Structure 1
Amino acid sequence: MSEDEVVTPAEIAKAADLLHDVVAPTPLEYSRWLSELVGGDVFLKCENLQRTGSFKLRGAYVRMSRLSKKERARGVVAASAGNHAQGVALAAQLLGIKATVFMPFGAPIPKEKATRAYGADVRFVGTSIDDCLRAAREFEAETGAVLIHPFDHRDIVAGQATTGLEIVEQCPQVRTVVVPTGGGGLVAGIAAAMQRDGLPISVVGVQAAGAAAYPASLAAGEPVALESMSTMADGIAVGLPGKVPFAAIQKYVGEVVTVDEDALSKALLLLLERAKLVVEPAGAAAVAAVLDNPKAFKPPMVVVLSGGNIDPLLLMRVIRHGMAAAGRYLSLRVRIPDTPGGLATLLTRLAEADANIIEVVHERISPSLNLHEVEVSLQLETRGEEHRERVLTCLTENGYTYTPN
């Protein structure tokens, strides 16, 4: 079959048989808070709880299980920011195949360590998945190792499609499925799987605004490469859509929307707080889209959490970013009189406004200050947007001037 032909129901069914004893069906959790926001039932498909922490094992194992003895003897090579790397590494371990994985510099440490723990040889190159793919192809040409592409192969898409089969089985009433999207393997697979029974199900892809190759590609009618990318969601930072997933997305996916970094941070934070689920920024992209426009998608709805492999240090930064985006942090500079008790008075007013003070820096030297003024840099914790505005009003009413930090 050609790259332009969509993965078939028969291919997906065979992939499901191959994966029967390899992957565990992931939970479908009802989300009360999202359901209230949307005005209808919303469920979370928790691929973050899959083996290796993402859906990637599905496609990697299907692809690698079909290699011939000669191909297996040559080993495999892959390019990944981390999730596909772990999927390939575990599949290689299960199948007795040597694996080499190229990862970009700066890839999350837990993803690197897990990939090595499954027995793969990890090599760092470049700053993006596209850089790693070039290195992997060079390695393939030099050594004969078989390239296991992260998304652009029929077996990969068929493997990811088994997520869609599970969704229909777990939630037969589903009418919309929202899916994080990078190269397109997962959303293409799910969309192809949704056609099996002719159900009226809309599939929506979600990309990070700083790495959104699909909107322009779909408008052009063919994959178009991005000139640059910038997003915390490394798992979906792909500059060029694959031909195989593109065909299914063009035919079956209703739309591809984008979300910004603030929305990703908010979604990740809310999943921690409300669902008690740890996801990476890419894995939270579909939830971010629902939060951005809750009335845009028809319930009953399934929102896919595609991965949960996040570096704890990044998690701390994203939580802070998410809290700031949600109005839970307030960072500002306040001018006060350079008199005894001036700082104490300011802090008393903030305490009366019920603001929790995280950090205070007292600055006396600045060319912008008047002779009898000092400036205080404050990091405050608030309860949300409404409380944040009350704190700012309190400052203004007490005669203080402030500027955002």
Structure 2
Amino acid sequence: MARTKRARRSGTGGLSRLNRLKPIAQAALLLAVPTAALISVGVPVNVTLYGIPLLVAFPLTVLHVASVELAVFRPWAAVVASVVGAFLLAVAGSDDVGAAWPYSVTALLTQILLVFVLALRADWPAGLCAWLGGVAVAAAAAALVPRTPAGVTANIAVLASVSGGLLVLGLVVQQWQAIRAQLLREREVSAEEHARRVLVEEKTRIARELHDVIAHSMSIINVQASTARYRYPGMDGELVGEFESMAASSRQALTEMRGLLGVLRDEEAAGELAPQPGLSRIPELVEGARRAGMRIDAHGVEVLGDQAVSDIAGVAAFRIVQEALSNATRHAPGTRAELRFGHADGQLTISVRNEAPARGSAAPASGGGHGLVGMRERAALLGGSVRTGPTGDGGFEVHAVLPMGTGDDSAKERRQR
């Protein structure tokens, strides 16, 4: 049993090592078997049927057959070796030849295989020259050598027709492989471009949504700085100037933000100037999903009333819950979803988990592919994280961890209270 397992592992390891080889090395290994067979058969045939001495037949046969292996690495050298080897084999035999000539059966198979390999692996001129050179060698041998064996014309015709057909087939296969490889590269490039475009679009949408939150905070700073001199009449003149400078800077920042929003604005988008939702809107979102037919079990909803959560974190939490529930509706309609909230160590945790879709249920609706990207981008904006993936029972879970505050002192003070 152990020997069988070791043999299986060694066989699997051999296949894996073969797959790791470069295509040129793979082709050379695949051609090693037919070339060895052609040499082992060709040498006795040339000695017995054509009367070529063994010391001459062996090197000439090896030269001719080795051109097939050489075609993988050096196409033009293989063309020269095949032409020289075929011509010398044709003229080296005895005058009384009772077999196929100028090409023996093994030489004919070698030449045909060479042309096909060159058509597959090399540029078309090399394959064409091998085909023309093989035909020219046969014609030259028939014209120069004073022999009149039967079937010379048929021998040349078989070589020209079969090798010519394989030449065309090999060139067609080579072009098909090149077109297929180009299409695969274009598809990979298109997929990468689409992924980058989706990411950029999602980041732009998040930036547009956060504009209202940031603008609200900047407006408060502007109002407080502008009214400080009236709320504190006895303020020093230098301090009044400091607050006026702060108010001017905040107004300039608001103006620049409006210009930035104009650049990011999507002409087809509507209603994005409304205030963005936060944690307080999540219960409404859950109730709306229940009215739409979803079965939702919500736990830890009291966490949503924590005032220490920043506005930006609230927007991110709302959008993550919204997208997770939408995905559950699209991909697992009719199943139960479980929604959990919690907070610990200044972090808000959100978990949305749905059951596996029932067998025979309607096919899930296709989405735009922006949801998971948007979740991760929103969490990364705050320094948090989102983990998504299937559950053990065939369902799906979205688990998000978001910092509750923005890191300022006021948020820390509110948490301490």
- Give TM-score scaled by structure 1 length: 0.22
| Structure with higher helix content | 2
The one of the two structures with greater contact order (alpha-carbon pairs below 8 A, sep at least 6) is 1
- Give TM-score scaled by structure 2 length: 0.22
| Structure with higher strand content | 1
Q: Mark the structure with the bigger radius of gyration.
A: 2
